[in-house]
Each structure stands twice: as C-alpha cells, then as structure tokens.
Amino acid sequence: MYQIVTELTGVPRTLLLPLRGRADEQSNPHPLFQDPLAVEWLKLAGWDQELEKLYSISAKASSIAVAIRTYQHDQIASRHITNHSHPIVVELGAGLSSRFHRIGKNAYRWFELDLPVVTELRSKLDTQTEQHQFISASVMDFDWMSNLPNVEPENILFIAEGLLPYFEVNEVQQLLSMMCSRFPGATLDVEVLGNYVKMFSKMFSQIGAPLKWFVKNEQDLSAMELQVVNAWPLYKLHQERWPWQWQLLLKFFTQFPYFRNAYLIVETKL
Ligand SMILES: C[S@@+](CC[C@H](N)C(=O)[O-])C[C@H]1O[C@@H](n2cnc3c(N)ncnc32)[C@H](O)[C@@H]1O
C-alpha cells in the first residue's frame, strides 16, 4: 500500500477530521455503520499531525460526534433513496465521504462535489461511474448546478455535512437563494453550528479554516427561505454512545437552547 502525497491546506484540510472519525468508529466493537473504505482511505491519504490537537480536543468526543452525525445523514439519505423514483444525492463539500459506498447502490445518480484539489485526491482513491460522479468545483460557482440531471427537483437530496459554517452568512444566503430558485422542492440536509461552538473558533483558525457562520437555532434557516422539516440536535442523538459521565452532562445541558443548538442537523425543503 503506498501513501498518496497531497498537501491539503485551508478548509480542504478539514476533510481529514471526519474521515478519521469514521475510520476510528470501525474499531468500536459495535460500530454505528460499516466503513472499511474510511480506514483504507485514511491510510492512503495520511493523517496530518497538526490536526491532532483539534481532533483529540476531548478524549473520544470527535470520533463519537462524527460517527453519530454520519449515521444520521446516512439515515436521511437512505430514506430519500427509498422514497423517490429517480433519487439523486449531491454531497456538497463531499471531502472523502464514502457514503455512496455505504448506502448509495440504489441511487439513480450520486454526485461528490468538492474543490479541484479534493476531487483530484478522490480520483486517486475512488472510481467514477455513470451512477457515481465527481464534480470539481466551488459550491459558490453556481455553474455546477447545470451539471445535475434534469429531473423533478423532489428527487434531489443535497447534503451539506460540515461545509456551510466555513462561509460568511451572506455567502450562505446567496447559495441557498440560488438553490431555492433552481431546485424548488428538493431536500437539503444541512449541518449548522450554534454560538456555543464559537469558543473553539480559534483552533479552527489556527489550522487555516476559520469558522464564520453560526446560527441561533434552526429558525435562522427558515429566515433564509428554507422550509424546516426536521431538526436534530446532534448531542441529543445516540447518547448511549458517550461515556456515562458525558451522558449525564449531555442530558442536562441539552435542555438549554445554547447547548441544544450547538450542533444541529436540519432537514429542509428548498
Ligand atoms: C469538514 S470537511 C467535510 C467533508 C465531508 N462532507 C465529510 O463530512 O466528510 C469540509 C469540506 O468542504 C470542502 N469545501 C470547502 N470550501 C468549498 C467550496 N467553496 N466548494 C466546495 N467544497 C468546499 C472542503 O474541501 C472539505 O472537503
């Protein structure tokens, strides 16, 4: 097995954090999902030691949180695929997501959109087919929208997992407005961070990936033209996965909006 030499910087560098979380989940005796590719891709892409401090910020918190969020998005995507005749999934800022290989075999089309440096890396690890395609573009260059097949927008699920907090609020607004006008009725499964996470901003800035957009709660998405269908506070999901002391703390603190809204997975309609 050879290691790929890639110098990731800025926000693309952060793709290694969830990749490591999914890989680490595989050493759990009862993983929430099976993901041998994450283990393989992490070995090939190589870990960045400068991310260690951020990843290991509090014992196993990163890997547990990544596993829970991954599983939640998998559930949403699986349901979408089952319920539509021509289900299309578009992962925005896909990084080295291996979701397609976990749950995508019945999708009509699956797109992995990311910046050229990331798509180049993925191309060394993964294979494109007619069903599974890579889009090398910035999500903010809206031409990518024309690459999607011409189907009823209800068939499309966009997943923005760990992407939008890296943009300014006006950029997020612009992207969402454009998506609403191009794909009315499509589903957007999005992750948003609350003000609590601001206290970790410095660590993200230090790795060249500053966090820029924080929400008060999911109503901020309603104010951006989206129809909120479901909102899941990450720290209320699968609490049994946390060490028991954490479970007690999470149960108590997530009663309060400031902690409940720290990390939300929100299913919306465009
Ligand atoms: C934290 S990673 C998340 C990766 C993946 N969604 C996951 O959960 O494993 C953020 C991703 O956003 C991508 N990204 C950053 N800016 C982008 C842009 N303007 N257009 C497309 N992707 C972008 C990065 O390259 C990186 O892969």
- Residue 166 belongs to domain with CATH number: 3.40.50.150
Count how many domains the chain has: 1
Q: Is 72 in the pocket of ligand 1 (CB under 6 A)?
A: no
Q: CB 59: neighbour CB atoms within 10 A?
A: 10
Q: CB 222: neighbour CB atoms within 10 A?
A: 13
> How many whole angstroms separate alpha carbon 232 and alpha carbon 230?
7
Residue 2 is predicted with a pLDDT of 64
DSSP state of 230: E
What is the reported pTM? 0.96
Q: Is 93 in the pocket of ligand 1 (CB under 6 A)?
A: yes
Q: Is 87 in the pocket of ligand 1 (CB under 6 A)?
A: no
Q: Is 189 in the pocket of ligand 1 (CB under 6 A)?
A: no
In a domain? residue 5: no
Q: Kindly give the pairing relationship between strand 88-92 and strand 109-114.
A: parallel
Ligand 1 centroid vs 139 CA: distance in angstroms?
A: 9
Per the structure block, which two tokens stand in for 234? 């990450």
Ligand 1 centroid vs 118 CA: distance in angstroms?
A: 8
Q: Is 21 in the pocket of ligand 1 (CB under 6 A)?
A: no
Compute the mean pLDDT over every residue in the chain, rounded to the nearest whole number.
Answer: 94
- The band of 1, judged by pLDDT with boundaries at 50, 70 and 90, is low
In a domain? residue 4: no
Percent of the chain with pLDDT over 70: 97
In a domain? residue 132: yes
Residue 199 is predicted with a pLDDT of 85
State whether residue 89 is helix, strand or coil: strand
Alpha helix segments (H runs only) across the chain: 10-13, 16-25, 36-45, 52-55, 61-83, 99-103, 116-125, 169-182, 201-206, 219-222, 244-253, 257-260
Ligand 1 centroid vs 257 CA: distance in angstroms?
A: 27
Q: What is the pLDDT of residues 41-81, one digit of tens each?
A: 999 999 998 898 888 876 578 889 999 999 999 999 999 99
The amino acid that residue 31 corresponds to is P
Residue 58 is predicted with a pLDDT of 64
Domain with 202, as residue range(s), is 10-269
Q: Is 191 in the pocket of ligand 1 (CB under 6 A)?
A: no
Residue 20 is predicted with a pLDDT of 95
Q: CB 205: neighbour CB atoms within 10 A?
A: 11
Q: Is 16 in the pocket of ligand 1 (CB under 6 A)?
A: no
Q: What is the pLDDT of residues 146-193, one digit of tens each?
A: 999 999 999 999 999 999 999 999 999 999 999 999 999 999 999 999
Is the per-residue pLDDT at 6 higher than 80?
Answer: no
Whether the Cβ atoms of residue 232 and residue 264 lie closer than 8 Å to each other: yes
